Chain A
Amino acid sequence: MLNINNLHAQVDDKDILKGINLNIAPGEVHVVMGPNGSGKSTLANLLAGRDGYTVSQGEVIYKGKDLLTIPTEERAWAGIFLAFQYPVEIPGVSNLQLLKAALNAKRRNNNLKELDAFEFLEMVRSKIDSVGMSEELLQRAVNVGFSGGEKKRNEILQMTILEPDLVILDETDSGLDIDALRIVGRSIEAMRDSQRAFLIVTHYQRMLDSIKPDYIHVLSDGYIVKTGGSELALELEERGYSWLGKGEAA
Chain B
Amino acid sequence: MELALWEIIMKKTTLIEELGVADYPQGFVTDIAADTIPPGLDENIIRTISSKKNEPDFLLSWRLAAFRHWQTLQEPSWSSVRYPAIDYQSLVYYSAPKSNKKGPASLDEVDPELLRAYEKLGVPLEEQKLLSGVAVDAVFDSVSVATTMRDQLAQHGVIFCPFSEAVAKYPELVEKYLGSVVPYRDNYFAALNASVFSDGSFCYVPKGVHCPMELSTYFRINAANTGQFERTLIIAEAGSSVSYLEGCSAPRRDENQLHAAVVELVAMEDAQIKYSTVQNWYPGDSQGKGGIYNFVTKRGECRGARSKISWTQVETGSAITWKYPSVILRGDNSTGSFHSVAVTRNFQQADTGTKMIHLGRNTSSTILSKGISAGHGHNAYRGLVRVAGKADGARNHTQCDSLLIGSQCRAHTYPYIEVKNPTAQVEHEATTSKISEDQLFYCRQRGLDPEDAISMIVNGFCQDVFQELPMEFAVEAHKLLSLSLEGSVG
Residues of B within 8 A of A77 (CB): 447
Q: Knowing A91-B460, A162-B447, say if A101 contacts B452 (CB, 8 Å).
A: yes
Q: Are B13 and A101 in contact (CB under 8 A)?
A: yes
Cα of A141 to Cα of B462 in the assembled complex, Å? 13
Residues of B within 8 A of A101 (CB): 9, 13, 446-448, 452, 456
Cα of A224 to Cα of B456 in the assembled complex, Å? 39
B53 at the interface (CB under 8 A from A): no
Instruction: Mark the stretch among B42-50, B201-209, B435-443 that contacts chain A.
Output: B435-443
Q: Are A92 and B459 in contact (CB under 8 A)?
A: yes
Q: Are B6 and A97 in contact (CB under 8 A)?
A: yes
B23 at the interface (CB under 8 A from A): no
Smallest CB gap from B3: residue in A? A117
Residues of B within 8 A of A105 (CB): 446-449, 452
Q: Knowing A51-B437, A162-B447, say if A90 contacts B457 (CB, 8 Å).
A: yes
A98 at the interface (CB under 8 A from B): yes
A227 at the interface (CB under 8 A from B): no
Instruction: Mark the stretch among A81-89, A212-220, A237-245 that contacts chain B.
Output: A81-89
Q: Are B457 and A82 in contact (CB under 8 A)?
A: no
Smallest CB gap from B5: residue in A? A94
Q: Knowing A101-B13, A141-B460, say if A50 contacts B441 (CB, 8 Å).
A: yes
B126 at the interface (CB under 8 A from A): no
Cα of A91 to Cα of B9 in the assembled complex, Å? 15
Residues of B within 8 A of A51 (CB): 437, 441
**Cβ-defined partner of B447 (8 Å) among A50, A76, A96, A97:** A76
What is the minimal beta-carbon distance from B125 to any residue of chain A, in angstroms?
A: 30
What is the minimal beta-carbon distance from B21 to any residue of chain A, in angstroms?
A: 17
What is the minimal beta-carbon distance from B469 to any residue of chain A, in angstroms?
A: 14
Residues of A within 8 A of B444 (CB): 49, 71-73, 76
Residues of B within 8 A of A139 (CB): 2
Q: Knowing A49-B445, A158-B446, say if A92 contacts B6 (CB, 8 Å).
A: no
Cα of A245 to Cα of B19 in the assembled complex, Å? 60
A93 at the interface (CB under 8 A from B): yes
Q: Are B439 and A73 in contact (CB under 8 A)?
A: no
Cα of A139 to Cα of B459 in the assembled complex, Å? 16
Residues of B within 8 A of A98 (CB): 443, 446, 456
B7 at the interface (CB under 8 A from A): yes
Residues of A within 8 A of B7 (CB): 117
B187 at the interface (CB under 8 A from A): no
A208 at the interface (CB under 8 A from B): no
In the complex, per-residue mask of B207-225: 1 if CB is within 8 Å of any chain A CB, else 0: 0000000000000000000
Q: Are A88 and B457 in contact (CB under 8 A)?
A: no
What is the minimal beta-carbon distance from A160 to any residue of chain B, in angstroms?
A: 13
Residues of A within 8 A of B452 (CB): 101, 105
Q: Knowing A90-B457, A91-B461, say if A76 contacts B446 (CB, 8 Å).
A: yes
**Cβ-defined partner of A93 (8 Å) among B10, B437, B457:** B457
What is the minimal beta-carbon distance from B455 to any residue of chain A, in angstroms?
A: 10
Q: Knowing A51-B437, A100-B9, say if A92 contacts B461 (CB, 8 Å).
A: yes
Q: Are B460 and A90 in contact (CB under 8 A)?
A: yes
Q: Are B446 and A102 in contact (CB under 8 A)?
A: yes
B423 at the interface (CB under 8 A from A): no
Residues of A within 8 A of B6 (CB): 94, 96-97, 117
**Cβ-defined partner of A88 (8 Å) among B13, B439, B461:** B439
B99 at the interface (CB under 8 A from A): no
Cα of A101 to Cα of B457 in the assembled complex, Å? 12
Cα of A38 to Cα of B354 in the assembled complex, Å? 53
B232 at the interface (CB under 8 A from A): no
Cα of A90 to Cα of B461 in the assembled complex, Å? 8
User: Quick one: which of A45-90 are within 8 Å of B by CB?
Assistant: 45, 48-52, 71-73, 75-77, 81-82, 84, 87-90
Smallest CB gap from A75: residue in B? B445
B36 at the interface (CB under 8 A from A): no
A116 at the interface (CB under 8 A from B): yes
Residues of A within 8 A of B285 (CB): none
Residues of B within 8 A of A97 (CB): 5-6, 9, 456
Residues of A within 8 A of B443 (CB): 90, 98, 102
What is the minimal beta-carbon distance from A115 to any residue of chain B, in angstroms?
A: 10
Smallest CB gap from A114: residue in B? B13
What is the minimal beta-carbon distance from A9 to any residue of chain B, in angstroms?
A: 16
Residues of B within 8 A of A102 (CB): 443, 446-448
A106 at the interface (CB under 8 A from B): yes
Name the residue among B436, B445, B457, B461 with the largest chain A CB count within 10 angstroms. B445
Residues of B within 8 A of A89 (CB): 439
Cα of A94 to Cα of B7 in the assembled complex, Å? 13
What is the minimal beta-carbon distance from A118 to any residue of chain B, in angstroms?
A: 10
Q: Are B462 and A92 in contact (CB under 8 A)?
A: yes
Q: Knowing A101-B13, A117-B6, say if A93 contacts B456 (CB, 8 Å).
A: yes
Residues of A within 8 A of B246 (CB): none
Cα of A51 to Cα of B463 in the assembled complex, Å? 28
B55 at the interface (CB under 8 A from A): no
User: Quick one: which of A24-55 are within 8 Å of B by CB?
Assistant: 45, 48-52
B464 at the interface (CB under 8 A from A): yes
Residues of B within 8 A of A72 (CB): 441, 444-445
Residues of B within 8 A of A93 (CB): 456-457, 459-460, 463
What is the minimal beta-carbon distance from B252 to any residue of chain A, in angstroms?
A: 31
What is the minimal beta-carbon distance from B96 to any residue of chain A, in angstroms?
A: 43
Cα of A109 to Cα of B448 in the assembled complex, Å? 11
Smallest CB gap from A109: residue in B? B447
Residues of A within 8 A of B439 (CB): 88-90
Residues of A within 8 A of B459 (CB): 92-93
Residues of A within 8 A of B446 (CB): 76, 98, 101-102, 105, 158, 162
Smallest CB gap from A82: residue in B? B445
Smallest CB gap from A76: residue in B? B447
Cα of A60 to Cα of B436 in the assembled complex, Å? 27
Cα of A200 to Cα of B452 in the assembled complex, Å? 29
Q: Footprint of B on A, CB under 8 Å?
A: 45, 48-52, 71-73, 75-77, 81-82, 84, 87-94, 96-98, 100-106, 109, 116-117, 139, 141, 158, 162
Assuming A48-B445, A90-B456, A102-B447, what are 11 further A-B pairs, CB within 8 angstroms? A45-B441, A50-B441, A50-B445, A88-B438, A90-B443, A101-B13, A101-B452, A105-B447, A106-B447, A117-B3, A117-B10
A-B contact pairs, 9 of them (CB 8 A): A49-B445, A50-B441, A73-B449, A82-B445, A84-B445, A91-B463, A92-B460, A100-B9, A101-B9
List the 4 closest A-B pairs by CB distance, nearest first.
A92-B460, A92-B463, A93-B460, A102-B446
